A and B are shown apart, each in its own frame.
Chain A
Amino acid sequence: MTDARSVTKARPAAASLIGDEPLIRLVDVTVTYPNGKEALINVDLEIRRGDFIFLVGPSGAGKSTLIRLLIREQVATTGRVYLAGRDLARVSRSQVHRLRRRIGVVFQDFRLLPNKTVRENVAFALEVTGAPLDEIRRRVPRLLALVGLEDQAQQLPAQLSGGEQQRAAIARALVHDPAILIADEPTGNLDPVTGWEIVQLLLEINALGTTLVVATHNQEIVTALRRRVVALEQGRMVRDEVGAAYRRG
């Protein structure tokens, strides 16, 4: 078995198989919380356009912190995070919302609004960014078709299965046609079959050109798909391999 720590440094360009300029680049990033805990330590990472990456590691390894950095909910204590060449620490507060339109996010708990229908949940993401009504009318059915929820458009989240709710959340995350889709444990609340359906959908979205970062504990899926795997442990990046299986420790 390869030494994970040595792989991290030995294969920094693992993602350079697709595209030229990295879509995301982390340079020697460390995040330290006010209580002194280091959530990420000296992380270097490059993600190319069109990549499909599994972000793995035990709870508390730093996956969520990494995601928060990418969506600019947090800034690095030291080091730099770049999105399409732009230093996220230099994005002013008033411009953060524009940045977030380039990044779609889905979560384990779907985070749908319970009092809105599927259609309204997806449309909401456009309404709150000031999209014109005709654009909303045009885009929402297309997105629902993409995730296979045309027939459930008028249903409330509580009337849907877990998989359907996650599909609705994915449709919402795609409303601004983001360059990257980040999925934080997208199959965590789903049964294995439904989990595979969601992964299939994510692969289809990736095939359409969207970069995917999927944080997961799902060994079966990671191992079966043999995509690029970035592993974190106690804040450090211990592995960055293309075509890897899920591995503990």
Chain B
Amino acid sequence: MGFLRFLGFTVVRAGQGFWRNKMMSLAATATVILMLVLLSGLVIVLGGLNSGLAYIESKVGVTARLVDGLAPEAVDQLVAEVSALPGVASVEFVSPEEAMRRLEQAYADRGQTLETGGSDISLYASIEVALTDPAAATSVSSALGERPEIERITTIQEQYDKLLGVTNVVRLAGLSAMILVGLTVVFMIVNTIRIAVFSRSREIEIMRLVGASDAFIRWPFIMEGMLCGLLGAVFTVLLVALVWGPIQPLLIEIFQMPTAVGAQFFTFVAVLILSVGLVVGMLGSWISVRAHLAAGV
């Protein structure tokens, strides 16, 4: 009961404080929104890039074209030896007939028919090596390259590395921007609460004289900072929900791969935004209260 009274008092006083000091409070809230929009943009792009990376990872493997006329026994031996290499999950032999069948299927999937113009074309035989770890692609490729049965090797490692590079750059640039904006937000909240403390110095003095505890004096200010953070977060979540749909095809178009993120990811982003908003609001006001609201002697 006592705690509920304390909570009620704190929330009401925080709301009153926010309203009385509304210009500064709204300015602080606006910076929170700016930071959280940046954060959500970063998280969504990184989420999309990670989903693209996961897609490539699932496809990363090594395809090796075999020399023509390789005897079935030699193929079996090759498959067995490659399977034993570290980092290899499985090895599948694709015969020229199987390769043709897949090609025809690929055409059929697009509603087309493979036209060979009457000529009897023949595809090459190959082995498809699936990896347990994408990082093993280089070592497996070089091991295959040394074998006489192999004519040429193809991998999508290059694509993977490129996307990983982009992801790292985005992550670094995004985090740097986030830290800068985050510091600005904390500074804004520190100042907002500082003004609130000064404008209520008479009240604080009276509270001390009549025996209010430090918690009753300090928490309304901390709650006021949290209110700035929470309001900014709620506004940002609404904004993100509004643009969530249009962003998905945009991500696919920019990165040319399945970088769309699901509805479950939206929940994650929303929870993240709300938590960061509250924590930043609390941090700023806590710093301000510590600096400008000296405890009793």
User: Which residues from chain A sit less than 8 Å from chain B, CB to CB?
Assistant: 71-75, 93-94, 96-101, 105, 111, 113, 124-125, 127-130, 132-133, 172-173, 175-176
- Please name the residue on chain B nearest to A74 by beta carbon: B297
Q: Does B214 contact A (CB under 8 A)?
A: yes
Which of B2, B9, B212 meets A97, CB within 8 Å? B212
Which of B2, B206, B296 meets A111, CB within 8 Å? B206
Contacts of A105 in B (CB 8 A): 209
Chain B contributes a number of interface residues (CB within 8 A of A) equal to 22
23 A-B pairs within 8 Å (CB atoms) are namely A72-B296, A72-B297, A93-B214, A93-B295, A93-B296, A97-B213, A97-B214, A99-B211, A100-B208, A111-B206, A111-B209, A113-B202, A113-B203, A125-B206, A128-B207, A129-B212, A130-B6, A130-B9, A130-B216, A132-B1, A133-B5, A173-B210, A176-B211
Which of B5, B9, B206, B210 meets A101, CB within 8 Å? B210
Instruction: Find out whether the CB atom of A111 lies under 8 angstroms from the CB atom of B210.
Output: no
Q: Does B205 contact A (CB under 8 A)?
A: yes
Q: Which of B199-225 contact A (CB under 8 A)?
A: 202-203, 205-214, 216-217
Instruction: Find out whether the CB atom of A97 lies under 8 angstroms from the CB atom of B202.
Output: no
Which of A72, A74, A96, A113 meets B206, CB within 8 Å? A113
Instruction: Find out whether the CB atom of B9 lies under 8 angstroms from the CB atom of A128.
Output: yes
User: Which residues from chain B sit less than 8 Å from chain A, CB to CB?
Assistant: 1-2, 5-6, 9, 202-203, 205-214, 216-217, 295-297
Contacts of A97 in B (CB 8 A): 208, 211-214, 296
Which of A73, A98, A132 meets B211, CB within 8 Å? A98
- Please name the residue on chain A nearest to B208 by beta carbon: A100
Which of B1, B203, B216, B296 meets A96, CB within 8 Å? B296
Distance in angstroms between the alpha carbons of A100 and B207 in the assembled complex: 10
Given contacts A111-B202, A130-B5, contact A100 B209 (CB under 8 A): yes
Instruction: Find out whether the CB atom of B202 lies under 8 angstroms from the CB atom of A175.
Output: no
- Please name the residue on chain A nearest to B296 by beta carbon: A96
Distance in angstroms between the alpha carbons of A44 and B297 in the assembled complex: 22
Instruction: Find out whether the CB atom of B6 lies under 8 angstroms from the CB atom of A101.
Output: no
- Please name the residue on chain A nearest to B205 by beta carbon: A111
Q: Across the A-B interface, give the 8 residue pairs with the lowest CB-CB distance, nearest first.
A: A101-B211, A128-B212, A125-B210, A100-B211, A96-B296, A97-B213, A97-B211, A128-B207
Which of B210, B212, B296 meets A172, CB within 8 Å? B210
B62 to nearest A CB, angstroms?
Answer: 67
Distance in angstroms between the alpha carbons of A146 and B278 in the assembled complex: 46
B7 to nearest A CB, angstroms?
Answer: 11
Instruction: Find out whether the CB atom of B206 lies under 8 angstroms from the CB atom of A124.
Output: yes
- Please name the residue on chain A nearest to B213 by beta carbon: A97
Contacts of B296 in A (CB 8 A): 72-73, 93, 96-97
B294 to nearest A CB, angstroms?
Answer: 11
Contacts of A96 in B (CB 8 A): 296-297
Which of the listed residues B6, B210, B213, B296 has the most CB atoms from chain A within 10 Å of its own CB?
A: B210
A172 to nearest B CB, angstroms?
Answer: 7
Contacts of B6 in A (CB 8 A): 130
Distance in angstroms between the alpha carbons of A130 and B297 in the assembled complex: 21
Instruction: Find out whether the CB atom of B9 lies under 8 angstroms from the CB atom of A127.
Output: yes
- Please name the residue on chain B nearest to A127 by beta carbon: B9
